[in-house]
Amino acid sequence: MRTKVLVTGANGFLGKAVCKNIRNVNKYKVLPLHGKSEWDLTKQKYVDYALQQYEPDVVVHLAATVGGIGANKENPGLFMYDNLCMGMNLIESCRKYGKLKKFVMVGTVCAYPKFTPVPFKESDLWNGYPEETNAPYGIAKKALMELLIAYKSQYNFNAVNLIPVNMYGPNDNFNPEISHVIPALILKIDRAMHVGKKEIELWGTGEASREFLYVDDCAEAITKSIEAEVDPSPINIGTGKEIKIKDLITRLAKLMGYAGDIKFNSDLPDGQPRRCLDTKKATEELGFTAKTSLHEGLKNTVSWYYNNKEQYKFNDYFDYIQ
């Protein structure tokens, strides 16, 4: 009999990739839970009902209320409340359910302190306060990590805590109100080309760095974690390589054929100064190493964007971009 894997947030960017990856392993059967309109995981009764209906062996928790810097600044209470409620409801319901073999918690790099030394080590998580604009979301996810450690200690609850870095790839969210770095930049460049704009202005100084993980690589790490014999202490998931935002936008502009000027507005925030993970633990405990280079991943993402922009009406977002 195949192991039944319940995936929350199955219709999201990462969720689609994870469901696809798990389905490629014959011994697993995927049980997808889709969006909040169908399953509101902030309500305990829906969580309990899902467990009763599907009777999973494993839960992979991906559902989240997320967004970029702007969305985080406008919705700190909502982001913290929703993510805490969803996680706590799932963890407690799974504990009471009593039949679960593994709980896979997918956290966030936003949980790390703002000035964490690079590369970020899992032991650094509690050595300071997160970057302010992402703090409510990051603290919510960090609290859930600690909850799983406590549940392991008190109830012997079997769980794994994964901390992926910034993800990107096909099927990413291009809505400018909630999109992350790479889709936001792709959309901004395409809009500038569409209207003949000879200059693009971006937030911050361009000196901030980020590490980017291709979504299919992250999905592979999550699948590997299902059977890994590990404790619930956090495990970084990434490439271990960083790039400055100014260099990233230059690469994207070249890929997309944009020849205009790129300027930065230092009056607007950079966010966290640097992000780059120490990924040794993932290699040692999960047998995971990211395979997709940034160049290959960006090419795939830009290609997907152009091939799907009419279907998803991405041009409708141009009115919301400066």
Q: Is 240 helix (H, G, I), strand (E, B) or coil?
A: coil
For the record, the structure tokens of 51 come out as: 């467990």
**pLDDT category, 152, cuts 50, 70, 90?**
very high
pLDDT tens digits, residue range 9-32? 999 999 999 999 999 999 999 999
- 280 has pLDDT over 90: yes
Question: Could you tell me the CATH superfamily of domain 3-166+214-237?
Answer: NAD(P)-binding Rossmann-like Domain (3.40.50.720)
**How far lies 101's CA from each of 97, 104, 216, 228, 295, in Å?**
11, 10, 24, 12, 38
* Least confident range of 75-89, 166-180, 194-208: 166-180
Give the number of other CB atoms < 10 A from CB of residue 199.
9
Candidates 112, 137, 151, 305; catalytic one: 137
CA distance 209 to 273: 6
pLDDT tens digits, residue range 232-244? 999 999 999 999 9
pLDDT of residue 312: 74
Cβ-based burial of 2 (10 A; exposed 0-12, middle 13-18, buried ≥19): exposed
Mean pLDDT across the chain: 94
CA dihedral sign of residues 182, 187, 193, 195: negative
Give the number of other CB atoms < 10 A from CB of residue 181.
18
**pLDDT category, 317, cuts 50, 70, 90?**
low
pLDDT of residue 68: 73
Give the number of other CB atoms < 10 A from CB of residue 271.
21
C-alpha count within 13 angstroms, C-beta hemisphere, residue 116: 27
- 228 has pLDDT over 80: yes
CA distance 228 to 281: 12
Provide the 8-state DSSP code for 295: H
Give the number of other CB atoms < 10 A from CB of residue 309.
17
CA distance 222 to 237: 9
Provide the 8-state DSSP code for 131: P
- 294 has pLDDT over 90: yes
CA distance 74 to 90: 26
Whether 320 sits among the annotated catalytic residues: the reply is no
Region of residue 129 (left: phi > 0; alpha: psi -120 to 50; beta: else): beta
- 314 has pLDDT over 80: no
126 Cβ neighbours under 8 A, 6+ residues apart:
142
Provide the 8-state DSSP code for 246: H
**pLDDT category, 36, cuts 50, 70, 90?**
confident
